[in-house]
Structure 1
């Protein structure tokens, strides 16, 4: 078991392109980690838990990967990923998501005030994944500035903030759950061609998680994001392709909200391509019947917007879900 745990840890480390030196710190030396990976030595529970943090992996994900194919043991429905995200991106707690009635100068000042602390945290770490926090923070700042500026179409590409994460994700042979979360945060900042390429990678290189419920639901959020971006770009062939993937994924979903969102999104696409409002109306009928008050309110508001605006305005309703 020690050797198999070690080999699982090594596989996770290598899948993220992390070296022994990247993972090692004052609590866990590179030599001790190497001996553990090769089955020559064990780790205490404390050091093993610390290793998982250094690998940006939750205990649930580690055991899921270790047990995959060996047993029907189910670890779905855990909460540790939110803790990991806040450890990676603690500045997210400062984000209000509301730029209404704020000038660009005020928004930039609020975001920039967090940069010294952020830079100190990054400088104190030799973890290469931590370096993606600053460009994400800067990307969010620019998106909030652009959202309140009607002369721009949201989202605007920002390759100056996304090039690093783009290269990181494209170099991975398989994406872990955490990599998918990082991708969702950066989605609006990629150039459309690059974003579509990374979306395809997300759909194929995370295939091992199709039975992992938390990530299966995360994939539906990625699909929602992708469809929203395609509609913002008025790229209807790409939106149609996204809907095809969405519909196929629904075969593994027991979440009614996913089915409702798909039906409404298909109606949105069909309305913009001249096929009528039937699907949107059916989706709203279901939300009323199931008494899903929040979903009913949000979809009714979006439906009203779609009916009263041209497709060129859909960028105003682009929404990105990170978790």
Structure 2
């Protein structure tokens, strides 16, 4: 068993282009890791759990990859990705505030206070993936400045912060769960053409997760984020393509929220493409279902968005385009 686990761990490490030196630390030496990967030694449960963190892999993902060729695999989900994101980006827990009530200088100052601690964490790490925490932090800062200043415009592309993560994602042989989250966090900072290219990679190189129950929901979030970006850009042809892919994914989904969101999003798209009657029916049907199922939060959010769509034109949709990371 340990030999087979070591083979899986090595495959995950190599798929992320991490060396033994990148993964090793004071708790797990290069020699111990090498022996484990080659089936020459075992790891304690504590060290094995630590290794998964060093590989940016949840226990659920590891088990999925280990059992992916076996018909008996069936897990209901493992909720450690949020903790993994916080380890990657711990300063995110410290930042609270409404950019709409702050000046650009106040926003930058508040974000910049966390940079020395973040830089120290990056400098002390041998992990090349950790380096993306700094540009992600700076990208979030600039996005809040973009949407929070008096000019109010959709966040601008920031290639100075996204070039590195773009190269990393495009070089991966396949995308892991954490890589999908990374893409999601950086989505608004890519130029539209680049973002669409990476979205297509996300849907193809993460294809192994189509039957992975918890990450199927993550794929729906990626689709929803993509649709929101397309509507914000007023790129209705791309929005239609996204809806088509969303509908295809629904064929094997039993989550009511995914079906509700698809129906509402289709209505939103139709309302913006002069199909007013059909679009109104879609949105109101979606709201009827949320009320019937007593989905209070969803009903509130969709009702607010529906009111906005009815009272604004498509050029204002960027104001309500949401990106979901967790």
Asked if residue 297 in structure 1 is aligned to residue 300 in structure 2, the reply is yes
The match for 1:180 is 180
Please give the secondary structure, in 1, of the residue aligned with 2:304: helix
The match for 1:61 is 61
Change (3 A) 1:212 1:309: same
Alignment partners' CA distance in 1, 2:65 and 2:138:
34
User: Which string of whole-angstrom CA distances, capped at 9 and with x for unpartnered residues, describes residues 157-211 of structure 1?
Assistant: 0111111111000000110001101111110000101100111111111111112
8 Å contact kept, 2:225–2:322: yes
8 Å contact kept, 2:100–2:149: no
Alignment partners' CA distance in 2, 1:100 and 1:151:
11
The match for 1:73 is 73
Offset at residue 47 of structure 1 (A): 2.1
The match for 1:262 is 262
User: Which string of whole-angstrom CA distances, capped at 9 and with x for unpartnered residues, describes residues 117-165 of structure 1?
Assistant: 1111111101011111111111111111111235353131011111111
The match for 2:40 is 40
Alignment partners' CA distance in 2, 1:97 and 1:3:
49
Offset at residue 44 of structure 1 (A): 2.4
The match for 2:96 is 96
Q: Report the TM-score when normalising by structure 2.
A: 0.96
Q: Which runs of 5+ in 1 are unaligned?
A: none
Structure 2 residue corresponding to 1:311, chosen from 285, 305, 314: 314
Please give the secondary structure, in 1, of the residue aligned with 2:84: helix
8 Å contact kept, 1:97–1:144: no
Offset at residue 102 of structure 1 (A): 0.8
Alignment partners' CA distance in 2, 1:70 and 1:92:
38
The match for 2:197 is 197
8 Å contact kept, 2:56–2:84: yes
The match for 2:129 is 129
The match for 2:290 is 287
Offset at residue 254 of structure 1 (A): 1.1
8 Å contact kept, 2:20–2:33: yes
Work out the number of aligned pairs and report it: 323
8 Å contact kept, 1:159–1:191: yes
Offset at residue 28 of structure 1 (A): 1.8
Offset at residue 85 of structure 1 (A): 1.1
8 Å contact kept, 1:154–1:318: no
The match for 2:219 is 219
Alignment partners' CA distance in 1, 2:176 and 2:217:
14
8 Å contact kept, 1:76–1:212: no
Q: Which runs of 5+ in 2 are unaligned?
A: none
8 Å contact kept, 2:170–2:198: yes
Q: Report the TM-score when normalising by structure 1.
A: 0.97
The match for 2:2 is 2
8 Å contact kept, 2:60–2:77: no
8 Å contact kept, 1:122–1:130: yes
The match for 2:140 is 140
The match for 1:246 is 246
Q: How does 1:151-170 map to 2 (within 5 A)?
A: 151-170=151-170
8 Å contact kept, 1:231–1:315: yes
